[in-house]
A and B are shown apart, each in its own frame.
Chain A
Amino acid sequence: MSKAAALWLLAGLCLGGQEAREIVEEAQRRSRAASERYEGTLEVTDARGRVASKRWIYQRLGSHGDSKAVIRFTAPPEVKGVALLILNHPERASDQWMWTPAIQRERRIALQDRSTRFFGTDFSFEDLEERDVNQYDYRLLGEESLEGAACWKIHSQPKRSRASQYTHSILWIRKQNYTFARIENYVGAELVRRAAYREVSNVEGIWTPRLIEMTDLRRRSRTVLRLEKLQYNLPMKDADFTLQALRREF
């Protein structure tokens, strides 16, 4: 390869990386909100077609990489009260604690344990983190139509400073409203989890997918999460996103 051709390729890769990063940044900017709350309905379908239903309430204060979130199960009665506290950091992986009311104890979810499924759903603990644009390197792979929507297709790779179960991910972002259409997560060459984002609607000025379907391709199971009663920018307090708060809620 000539020096000129190599320079052109390098320049193309840099520009591709720059453009991809700008797309993700714009997607992040458009979905920014001071807080978020929704009631999630989950349907977990295993490889044999059996369905289990769960419900949780999700509350988040802050946005993208500098936020705090609490997920608290409300159904089935067996797991009612089980909660997860997530503290997202811009420079490193999140801190997570799970509260189990039956034994009145919280347990920190260690970084190496984040690939585990979250309470029988197909979301891993890591999948519940908020992803900040600065924690990944990006490369634009091209454009592709997905379920009738024109999308950018972007390769995303966690930076070394960030531990992740996934070696890389492929993102599809809708051109029309900068919402995610799909994320495919890989370990090496193996596609392990696929998240599809559907039923996009405008909620208080933020285009939001109201249905997320997470498929675990190793287990051949999937979880459909529906976001109900979604609200943004509600007044919330820092003190409600702490270990003490996790314990005191019923």
Chain B
Amino acid sequence: MRGPAALVWAALAFGQDFSQRGFLEMRLTAYPQVAANDRGRAVAAALLRYEASYKFSPGWRAAAGLDARSDTHHEVERRWALGWQDRERQRPAFTLRRASLLYSRGPVTLELGKQFIRWGKADILNPTDRFAPRDFLGVVDSDFLAVTAARLALGAQTDTLETVFAPRFTPSRIPLANQRWAPLPAGIELQEAAPRYPGGPQFGARWNHVGAGLEYSLSFYEGYNHLPLFEARLSGPPARPRLQAERFYPKLRMYGADAALPLGWVTLKAEGAWFRAPAGSADEYLLYVVQLERQAGEWFLVGGYAGQKVTRVGRGPGFAPDRGLARALLARAGYTIDARRSLALETAVRQNGDGLWLKCEYTQTLGLHWRITAAWTLIRGAPSDFLGQYRRNSHASLILRYSF
């Protein structure tokens, strides 16, 4: 009887320490306007995400996540291979989303492997969030990518020092050149060379203090920008010009700080970072966000301003959605209608009026597992503005998700 009893015990123990979650999501996106380089008006996509965690001893835990996806617009690769580096131009059909080993004992937390690391306190835009590359294939609907790193956190509550060492660089995924989120002028053919990925490691440290009311942190990052610059050259006959472009990721050093201070009626949050470019190829600039936050009744309200001060101009064009939201008023509002339904609104309006992004979302849960979301994204502005260049990409989305 010992064998079966041990098996039952092991199963029970495993059940207690094993945890899993995931979802299957189907998304239909419709664009009323065609783009110069993309005649498609509708995109259907499916994503299956599975994440599991197992605590195999009191101090050790392993976590892993897998994504499987497909779509109609070739944003997803058509290869039966498992991607884990997140360096592919398209989204891999199968991705190891995360895979890490976590050790914790008292005030020490150590996590090794592919993991998510989030810094900063602001909403919508986080200048200090340096270990958080994203999938920007859809620019305004982005998703975080994990980084391969070792993270050591010392301290538990009042003061925490977090250090991160990432031996391998993970870039953000940028829009595909032949699709609508890469708004190239009509008639120009793009030839993209293989990107130059930096070989060196990245390092970061963040000290966070939690007081009775005030919370603040100081952060430092030495590494590379996960958003690229381009070396571009125009060639070919004037009648049929070719743009030859090569992506590269400039060296970056960041000094950052963030704070949250509850006032009488609102919470004031501020986050800023000064970015230095040791190699001199990129801009040097200060990027900051100041916002007020209030949660009252069924409402959640955030409003603020994102600013930028360029201290030295570098060379080369780049893809920088973070700076694209600077010099803008930012706002987010959420309203819970009832236990099943909610509304959300997010917007960014450039202070010079050259760009507008507005997203309205209605969500309803159906039973315990299903959720349906209807969203409308409006983008307007001047072609020279980061937001305005996507003015033909306003879209409506319908998302059906089954969570398990």
Contacts and interface: CB of A to CB of B under 8 A. Distances in A.
Contacts of A245: 104, 156
Nearest to B337: A46
A104 B107 contact: no
Contacts of B29: none
A248 B104 contact: yes
B351 interface: no
17 contacts: A44-B339, A47-B338, A48-B338, A53-B368, A77-B403, A95-B210, A104-B118, A108-B215, A110-B293, A110-B295, A111-B213, A112-B296, A239-B104, A239-B105, A243-B160, A244-B157, A250-B63
Nearest to B340: A52
Contacts of A87: 157
A244 B160 contact: yes
Contact of B19 (A53, A115, A250): A250
Interface string A58-91: 0000000000000000011110110000010000
Interface of B: 19, 21-23, 51, 53, 61, 63, 102, 104-107, 109, 111, 116, 118, 144, 153, 155-157, 160, 210, 212-213, 215, 260, 262, 264-267, 293-298, 300, 336, 338-340, 365, 368-369, 371, 401, 403-404
Contact of B365 (A75, A78, A80, A121): A78
Contact of A105 (B23, B51, B118, B262): B118
B104 A46 contact: no
Most buried by B among A46, A113, A121: A113
A221 B106 CA distance: 42
A162 interface: no
A52 B295 contact: no
Interface of A: 44, 46-48, 50, 52-53, 75-78, 80-81, 87, 92, 95, 103-105, 108-113, 115-117, 120-121, 221, 238-239, 242-245, 248, 250
A35 B275 CA distance: 47
B23 to A, nearest CB: 7
Contacts, number: 111
Given A80-B403, A112-B296, A244-B153, 9 more contacts: A48-B338, A50-B340, A78-B365, A109-B295, A116-B296, A239-B104, A242-B156, A248-B102, A250-B19
A238 B155 CA distance: 12
B156 A112 contact: no
Most buried by A among B21, B53, B63, B160: B21
B339 A52 contact: yes
A239 B297 CA distance: 33
Nearest to A114: B295
B369 A110 contact: no
Q: What are the 9 closest A-B residue pairs judged by CB atoms, nearest first?
A: A250-B53, A77-B403, A113-B295, A110-B262, A242-B156, A52-B339, A76-B368, A120-B339, A110-B267
A250 B18 CA distance: 9
Contacts of A244: 104, 107, 109, 153, 155-157, 160
B297 A76 contact: no
Given A77-B403, A113-B294, A248-B104, A50 B157 contact: no
